[in-house]
Every structure is written in C-alpha cells, then in structure tokens.
Homo-oligomer: A and B are copies of this chain.
Amino acid sequence: MDHILFELFVIFAVAKVVGEVFERLRQPPVIGELLVGIALGPHAVGIIGDSEVHHVLQELGAVVLLFMVGLDTRLPEVRAVGTRALVVGSAGIVLPFLLGAGYIGATGHSGEESAFIGAAMVATSVGITARVLADLGVVGEVESRIILGAAVVDDVLGLLVLAVVSGLSGGDLSPVGIAVLAVEAIGFVVVLGLLGVHAVNAAASTIEAARIQRGPLAVALAVCLGLAALADTVGLAAIIGAFLAGMAFAEVRPRWDLEDQVEPVYQLLVPFFFVITGAQVDLGALVEPDTLGLVAAVTGLAVVGKFLGCGAAALGMPRRSAAIIGVGMVPRGEVGIIVASVGLAEGVIGPDLYGVVVAMSILTTLGAPPVLKVLFSGRGGEPRPRRGRRTSDVEGTGG
C-alpha cells in the first residue's frame, strides 16, 4: 500500500512540475505529462508500475477530462456542426483503414493482419486532442466542435469496424451480434446526445427545490460515472459517456457553478491519465532496426490518412480550419493501443505488429499537439476562464 501511495505522489508532483515547465516554454503541458510517464514507467526508470489500480486511475482521469470538455460543449453548437462532424468522422475512418490495410497487405502479411492494422489506424483519441484544445482555450471554436463531434462519430464507427474485423478473424460475433452492437452504440450516442440536455433541464428545478446540500455536484458526478459505465457496457469508450454527460449539464453549468466545482477534481485526476498512458510506452521497442521502417511507413500513412481524409471532408472551410481539423484527428493515443491489444490477445497479430501499432499511436499522439498549437496561434489564447480566475485570485491576494 505504501508503494502505491508513493507512486501516486510521484506521478502527481512530477506531472505538475514538468507541466509547468512546458507551460513556461510555451509547449502543451500534456506533452510534458506524457514524457514523465515514458521516463518513469515500467519500460524505463520503473518508479511507476502497471496494475489494475493504474488502469482505473487512468480511466478516471480520462472520464473527468471528457466530462469537463463536455461541460464546455453546448448541444446547439454541436448540432450546428453536426453534418460536418459526421462527414469528417466518416472520412477519417475510411481513408486510414484503406491505407493501413492496403499497405500491410502489400508487404506480405495476411488478410486478417491487414484488417486489424487497418482497424487500429481508424481509432481517434479524443482525450489527447481535447486536452490540447482545453489548454489552448479554444474548446468553443468551430473547428474544436467539429473535431469533438467527429471523434465521437469515429469512436462509434471504429467500434463497429473492430467488431467486424474481430468477427471475420474468428471472434464469436455473428452478423446479428454486430447489428445489435451497432444499434446499441448509435442509439446510445443519439439518444443521450439529443435528450440529455432536456432531461437535465427538466430535473434541474426538482434538484434545486430539494435543497440537497452539494446536490448539484453530486448529481453531475453520479451521472458522469453512470454514463461512462453505461458506454463501456455497450462497447463504446467510457469517455464517450462522460463527454455526453458533460454536454447534458452544459446548460445548467453556469447556474450550478459546475465548472469551478469540477476543476479541482480535474486538477487531481487528469494528470494520472496522461502520465499512466505515457508509462505504457516502451521507447526501446520503437527503435528496433527490424521494425523501424514499418513504424515509419505505418505512422506516415496514419497521419496522411487522417489529415487528408478529415481535412478533405472539411473543404469549403478556410484552409487553416481544414488543417486544424485534419491535424486534430491524427492522435491515436490509448485507443490505437487498445485495438492492438485485442488483436494480440486474439492471436491475430504478433508482437512485432503490436509494437508497430503502439509506436504509431505514440508518435501520432506526441506529434499533433505542437502542430495544433501553431495552427491555433493568434486565436483563443485565453485559457479557460476559471484558470484565469484562480491565477488572478492568487495575484490579487498574494505578494
């Protein structure tokens, strides 16, 4: 027990210090946190271990992150970009899958292997991009809303691709099973996305009238955990549920002071997501000479596939906006790694291809944030209001 407390202390304290250093260097703090994880993880220094406790804290960090991003995302604004997000998300599925599966097939691997690598290249890690958008203070920008909406679409479609690929390669999913999964996943997102806000609005005055001490925060956190668990149950990422929960509370957010109240929980838990995600990275595996070429090719195709696919779907918008959307969809983060683990566990891909997918996920994750920062330069710039407030609180009262 003492060791895990010590680990939590190290993860939190080092993440905060390094994150602050990156902030001063005008780099996204999330990169600093990922690097802390890589350096202290089991594949390097070994201070941070790898157990169920780590996975749960990682998941909780991601859930709180996406809940907070959801709080900043109002349904009418999502609706306004809904069609565009659908097109961008779909394009970001098709092109990476074709490029990835085609290349792996062309280099002499089996059809099953090709399909799995294609499926892994479909994934989008909205967590990484969302954090960068939040750090830059641009969650409300139209490109950000398209990216977040498209990432949700990606997760739903990516789930279905994985189910089909898994089914083809001897998993136990029948066509009926895949159809049920599709209905569940799409139904979950559509029903909660459209009705969540109305349900919360309808219940809000009852909750307020009940005069429950700290009731609003408790209700919001309970719904967040509940929808995250429900999303997981229907096969979606838990963070999709947390994001939809946040969106449902976006309208009552100012009245309930929710953003200020969730902020300390965010400060405590979110670093665990990024540091522990980083800790799962084995840098040594990246530089094996045998796979270096394959890593470079797959990573290149992963970037090109999302950038061209999503960027093309955003044509008609200003060129820089299309570029932002293309780059914002690039990070595969933990999602690509999860897909690869499924393939490894089912025996469809071997450790070498697994390592390639992990490397591709890491490289796309580390590469996108600095580019996004440059593309957004001159815009946003104002970090989220509560951060400014906290800073000025201290400035006003200290010194």
Contacts and interface: CB of A to CB of B under 8 A. Distances in A.
Nearest to A224: B9
A25 to B, nearest CB: 14
Copies of this chain, tallied across the complex? 2
B383 A217 contact: no
Given A56-B4, A255-B397, A229 B9 contact: yes
Please classify the interface of chain A as helix (H, G, I), strand (E, B), loop, or mixed, using the class held by over half of its residues.
helix
A52 interface: yes
A395 B221 contact: no
A103 interface: no
Nearest to A383: B213
A262 B60 CA distance: 18
Interface stretch (A108-116, A193-201, A263-271, A366-374): A263-271
B265 A225 contact: no
B229 A5 contact: yes
Nearest to A6: B229
Contact of A59 (B1, B23, B216, B222): B1
Contact of A53 (B53, B215, B391): B53
Interface in A4-53: 4-6, 8-9, 12-13, 16, 20, 23, 51-53
Given A56-B53, A222-B12, A267-B221, A215 B394 contact: yes
Nearest to A255: B397
A120 B342 CA distance: 47
Given A221-B267, A390-B214, A398 B205 contact: yes
A209 B217 CA distance: 32
Contacts of A233: 2, 6
Contacts of A261: 263-264
Contacts of A268: 221, 265
A332 to B, nearest CB: 19
Interface string A227-260: 0110011000010000000000000000111000
The 6 nearest A-B residue pairs measured at CB = A208-B398, A2-B232, A9-B225, A5-B229, A6-B229, A13-B222
